[in-house]
C-alpha cells in the first residue's frame, strides 16, 4: 500500500513522534468534527515541510496544509493522503524594535500577548482570532476594523515545487478574506510585521475591551469555525440569517447559533454532513428571501 511507503519515507527525515497515522481530525479542528487522515505530519522546520511536500509529490499522494484548523470543516469520511500541520512546532518569534518576524505556526493569541508585553500597538484586533499566523495571512483575517494587511510588510512562502520566495505586502495582494497565498495555494513560512510603540496600559485596555465584546456577542463556548459565511457586499451575513428567521435552526447537532447568527455551532456530536446541510439551507433561505448569495468562509476538505 502506497501510504505505508510514504510513511516509511517520511520517517527518514522527520521524527516518528511527529508523524501520525489514521489521526482523527476532530482533534485538529475547532469544529471538533471530521474523520481520520491517513497520515499527519507535524514539521518543525522549513526543510521538513519541503521534504514532506517532495515525498507527497514523488508518490503522487494528495496533501493538505493546515494551521490550527480554526476555519476548517473536515468531512466525515476523513482525508485520503497527507495533512501537513504547521502549528506549535513552527512558532518562533523575533522582535527587533518595531519589527516582528514570526514563523507561520504561532497562534495569533500568543503573538498578541508578546506584542502587548513589548508595548507594540496595532495587533489588538487579532488577539481573539483563534488561528495561526500563516492561516491569518492566507485569508487576510481581520476583526474589529483591523486586518492582517494593516501590519504585514512581507512573508516568506513555499510553492508546490519546494521553491521559497519572499513576497512584499503589495505582492501578497491582500483583499477581503483573500490573498495571493490563498489564490495560488502557497504555504506561508515566516511573516514580517511592523508596529508602532504604544502605551502598555492602553494596549491592555483595548485588548480587554475587544475580548469582552467577543465573549458576550460570539458563541465561544461551543465548537465552531468562526464566521461561517463571508460578508456579502452591502450586508452582514449574521443579520441576513437572523432576519430570515434562521436563528437557532438546527440539523442534527449543527445549529445556527442563538447568540450570533453568523456562526454555525456544534452543540453536541454534529457531523460534517449536518453542518453542510445546514449551510445549504441557510444559503437557500437567504437567497430566496433577500436575493443575496452567501459564500462560505469556512474551508471544507475531505472525502465525499
- Could you give the number of structural domains in the chain? 3
The answer as to whether 213 is a domain residue is: no
The answer as to whether 44 is a domain residue is: yes
**Per annotation, catalytic residue among 91, 227, 257, 261:** 227
The answer as to whether 73 is a domain residue is: yes
pLDDT value of position 220: 87
pLDDT tens digits, 252-267: 999 999 999 999 999 9
pTM over 0.75: yes
Q: Is the pLDDT of residue 183 over 90?
A: yes
Separation of alpha carbons 132 and 139, rounded Å: 11
Q: Phi and psi of 78, rounded to 5°?
A: 85, -160
201 tagged catalytic? no
45 tagged catalytic? no
Beta-strand relationship, 72-74 and 299-301: parallel
**Per annotation, catalytic residue among 88, 118, 194, 297:** 297
pLDDT band at 205 (very low <50, low <70, confident <90, very high): very high
Residues 6+ apart with CB under 8 A from 8: none
Same domain, 175 and 161: yes
pLDDT tens digits, 69-107: 999 999 999 999 999 999 999 999 999 999 999 999 999
The answer as to whether 120 is a domain residue is: yes
Separation of alpha carbons 145 and 149, rounded Å: 11
**Per annotation, catalytic residue among 177, 179, 224, 257:** 177
Nearest CA to 41 among 71, 6, 73? 6
Q: Is the pLDDT of residue 283 over 90?
A: yes
Query: Residue 229 is part of which domain span?
Result: 219-301
C-alpha cell at 13: 527525515
CATH number of the domain enclosing 73: 3.30.43.10
CATH number of the domain enclosing 249: 3.90.78.10
Same domain, 15 and 82: yes
Q: Phi and psi of 43, rounded to 5°?
A: -70, 150
91 tagged catalytic? no
Amino acid at each position: 500500500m502506497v501510504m505505508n511507503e510514504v510513511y516509511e519515507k517520511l520517517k527518514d527525515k522527520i521524527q516518528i513522534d511527529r508523524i501520525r497515522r489514521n489521526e482523527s481530525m476532530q482533534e485538529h479542528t475547532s469544529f471538533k468534527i471530521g474523520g481520520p487522515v491517513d497520515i499527519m505530519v507535524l514539521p518543525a522546520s522549513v526543510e521538513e515541510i519541503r521534504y514532506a511536500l517532495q515525498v507527497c509529490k514523488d508518490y503522487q499522494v494528495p496533501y493538505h496544509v493546515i494551521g490550527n484548523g480554526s476555519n476548517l470543516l473536515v468531512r466525515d469520511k476523513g482525508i485520503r493522503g497527507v495533512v501537513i500541520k504547521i502549528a506549535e512546532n513552527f512558532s518562533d518569534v523575533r522582535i527587533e524594535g518595531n519589527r516582528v518576524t514570526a514563523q507561520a505556526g504561532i497562534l495569533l493569541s500568543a503573538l498578541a500577548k508578546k506584542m502587548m508585553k513589548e508595548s507594540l500597538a496595532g495587533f489588538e484586533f487579532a488577539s481573539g482570532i483563534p488561528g495561526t499566523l500563516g492561516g491569518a495571512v492566507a485569508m487576510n483575517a481581520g476583526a474589529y476594523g483591523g486586518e492582517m494587511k494593516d501590519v504585514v510588510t512581507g512573508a516568506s512562502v513555499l510553492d508546490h515545487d519546494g521553491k521559497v520566495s519572499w513576497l512584499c505586502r503589495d505582492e501578497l495582494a491582500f483583499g477581503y478574506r483573500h490573498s495571493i497565498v490563498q489564490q495560488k495555494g502557497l504555504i506561508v513560512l515566516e511573516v514580517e510585521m511592523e508596529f508602532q510603540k504604544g502605551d502598555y496600559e492602553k494596549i491592555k485596555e483595548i485588548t480587554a475591551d475587544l475580548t469582552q465584546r467577543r465573549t458576550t456577542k460570539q458563541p465561544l463556548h461551543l465548537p465552531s469555525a468562526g464566521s461561517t459565511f463571508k460578508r456579502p457586499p452591502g450586508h452582514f451575513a449574521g443579520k441576513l440569517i437572523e432576519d430570515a428567521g434562521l436563528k437557532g435552526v438546527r440539523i442534527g447537532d449543527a445549529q445556527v447559533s442563538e447568540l450570533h447568527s453568523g456562526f454555525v455551532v456544534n452543540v453536541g456530536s454534529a457531523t460534517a454532513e449536518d453542518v453542510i446541510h445546514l449551510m445549504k439551507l441557510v444559503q437557500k433561505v437567504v437567497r430566496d428571501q433577500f436575493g443575496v448569495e452567501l459564500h462560505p468562509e469556512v474551508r471544507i476538505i475531505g472525502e465525499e
